[in-house]
Each structure stands twice: as structure tokens, then as C-alpha cells.
Amino acid sequence: MKCTVCKGPAVIDIRRHNANFCAEHFLRLCRDQVAKAIKDFAMIEPSDRALVAVSGGKDSLAVWDILVELGYQADGLYLGLGIGDYSDASGETARAFARDRGWTLLEVDLPTEHGFDIPTGAKAARRVPCSACGLSKRHLFDEAARTGGYDVLVTGHNLDDEAAVLFGNVLHWQDDYLGRQLPVLPARQGFPRKVKPLVRLGEREMAAYCVLRGIDYIVEECPMAAGNKHLGYKEALNLIEAASPGTKHDFYFGFLARASARFTPDAVAERELLQACARCGAPTPGEVCAFCRLVDRATDREAVPVALGRRPG
């Protein structure tokens, strides 16, 4: 297998591009794809201060690495979610990555600062763990970016993630979610813009990027993810992609180019109705935001062990 660019020995094939790459040209491809996403969707200005949500997994560490390589000012943010050994290991991985490079990593710990962990919060709120977790993460990322004076919040969602979310939203015709499923969400009420610079790159490419760059990332999946519908959608799309390379890309980018505008007016109208949460100031449709309500229900509860909070797989 030869590199399509230089004809040297290739280390990876990318079937949707019908091309193979050596290490040097693969790393260049990753940086070019991120630069293209940033430019096409006006994600980040050179003068912006970016905050990268870092989980210790391949995608978030890779996007942080690529942004710094591209010359952006980017700090990291790690959220401790209190998910047993998984949180301990992912926190240590994120810290080691930042420490080795001398980069700034902010940390927020949900149990210490808000009095509950995800297994306990999910049970108290009668939500599935990923729902309580997603809600907490969105809130805490927003808050940390706002208080730190960052212009833009970066997440490591890749093409596989976005195609799977889109697939789920289309299967159930979740038009409110479809209106918000964009690679850039504008700033609102003092909260930063949110961007996904990895939308042009897949999961396998991000793992290869980390290996070639010598980035040590946490490989274990979160124990709460078992049985998660999102994983099922990913598997279904992987089967389709294997038979027809490029389908995920066409599905996601076709949606952005040809369908997404039909759903955005409702999402924009919904956003305009938001007001500041009476407790924390976060934008919310009600008087008190969902995170503050979760805190109320989850604190003063007996802690739930990780194994019991886990969804049936």
C-alpha cells in the first residue's frame, strides 16, 4: 500500500477518500481537514481564546493538539463526573497530556463542587445516566467558558458521532434537535460559541492520529455507555459505511447543505424565548434551569455505586 501523495509506504487507508497515506501526509490531512472545517463554518477567529472540553479520550486530546498545531490559543477543561475508576483514569490521562506539553488544563469536579456524581444524579432525577451527564456537561462547560472569558468552546465530536446523532434524530423525527444539530452554535446571553472542528474526520482516523502523534489516551469506554442508543446507531452506520464508503459523510454534510435550514427557524425562535435561570443565570426556557433542578434532586441523596447506575446492556 503506497501513499497517494508521495508514493512512500502508507500507514492508513481512508476508503471514503479512496486514498492511502504515509504518517506525514496523514497528519497533514488531519490538520487540513480541521482547518477546512474551521474556515467553511467560521468556527474560530485567530484572536479567539478557545476552551477545549477534554475527556482524556482520543477525540478531545487530538482536537486540542491540532488546534495548537494550527496556531490557535487553546486551553483544556476537564470535568470530573464521579464515574468511579473511569473518571479517575480519564482525569489522570488528561492531566498527564497537559502537563507533558506545559498547556493549561482547567478542572471542575462535579461531586466536590456540586455535591453529586452522575450515577447518583441520574437515579435521583430518574434520567438515564447519559441524559443527566449530557445536561451537566453542557452546563458546566458553558459556565467554565463564560467565567474564564473564553470566546469559543470546542468539543471533539467527530463525523461518526455527528452522523450517529443525526441518524437517531431522523429516525425519531426530532425536529427540535435537528434544528440545533450544527457544527457551530452561536454565542448567546454571554455564553460562548460552540464548535466541532472534527466533523470532517472519523473515529478511526482520530485513533490513528493519536497513535502517530504519540498521544496516550484512555481507551476504555465509560461504563455508563452500555446499552446507549447512540452506540447502536453508530454500529448500524458502520455496517452501511463498510458496504458503501462515504455514506456517513454524504449523510451528514448533505443534511447541513440541503436540509438543516428547514429546521433551524424553530430552534432560533426557541433560543429567543430563553431567559436567565433565577439561580445561576444560564439560558433556560423556565424560571430555574435543568441543571439547578438536577442539583436540587441529586444532593442529599445516598450515593449510587457505578454498577447500579449503569444501564442494562
* Least Cβ distance, residue 175 to ligand SF4 (angstroms): 23
Q: Judged by CB under 5 A, does residue 25 bind Zn ion?
A: yes
Residue 74, φ and ψ in degrees, nearest 5: -135, 125
* Least Cβ distance, residue 114 to Zn ion (angstroms): 11
Residue 182 or 282 having the CB closest to Zn ion: 282
Angle formed at CA 268 by CA 262 and CA 272, multiple of 5 degrees: 160
* Least Cβ distance, residue 284 to Zn ion (angstroms): 6
Rounded-to-10 torsion of CA 264, 269, 273, 279? 10
Q: Which of Zn ion, ligand SF4, none does residue 199 bind to, with CB < 5 to 8 Å depending on kind?
A: none
Long-range pairs of 277-281 with CB within 8 A, sequence gap ≥ 24: 280/139, 280/143, 281/190
Only one of the segments 22-30, 65-73, 78-86, 230-238 lies at the binding site for Zn ion (rule: CB under 5 A); that segment is: 22-30
From 93, 168, 159, select the one nearest 130 (Cα to Cα). Answer: 168
Q: Judged by CB under 6 A, does residue 165 bind ligand SF4?
A: no
Q: Interface residues for ligand SF4 in 195-224 (CB under 6 A)?
A: 222, 224
- CA–CA dist 140, 302 (Å, integer): 23
* Least Cβ distance, residue 300 to ligand SF4 (angstroms): 22
Rounded-to-10 torsion of CA 161, 166, 172, 178? 130
Q: Judged by CB under 5 A, does residue 289 bind Zn ion?
A: yes
Q: Judged by CB under 5 A, does residue 14 bind Zn ion?
A: no
Only one of the segments 7-15, 127-135, 172-180, 289-297 lies at the binding site for ligand SF4 (rule: CB under 6 A); that segment is: 127-135
H or E stretch at 137: helix 129-147
From 66, 144, 133, 138, select the one nearest 105 (Cα to Cα). Answer: 144
- Applying CB under 5 A, the site for Zn ion has a residue count of 12
SS (H, E, C) 239-280: HHHHHCCCHHHHHHHHHHHHCHHHHHHHHHHHHHCCEECCCC
Q: Which of ligand SF4, Zn ion, none does residue 130 bind to, with CB < 5 to 8 Å depending on kind?
A: ligand SF4
Q: Judged by CB under 6 A, does residue 304 bind ligand SF4?
A: no
The residues that touch Zn ion, with contacts defined as CB under 5 A, are: 3, 5-6, 8, 22, 25, 277, 279-280, 282, 289, 292
The residues that touch ligand SF4, with contacts defined as CB under 6 A, are: 118, 129-130, 133-134, 222, 224-225
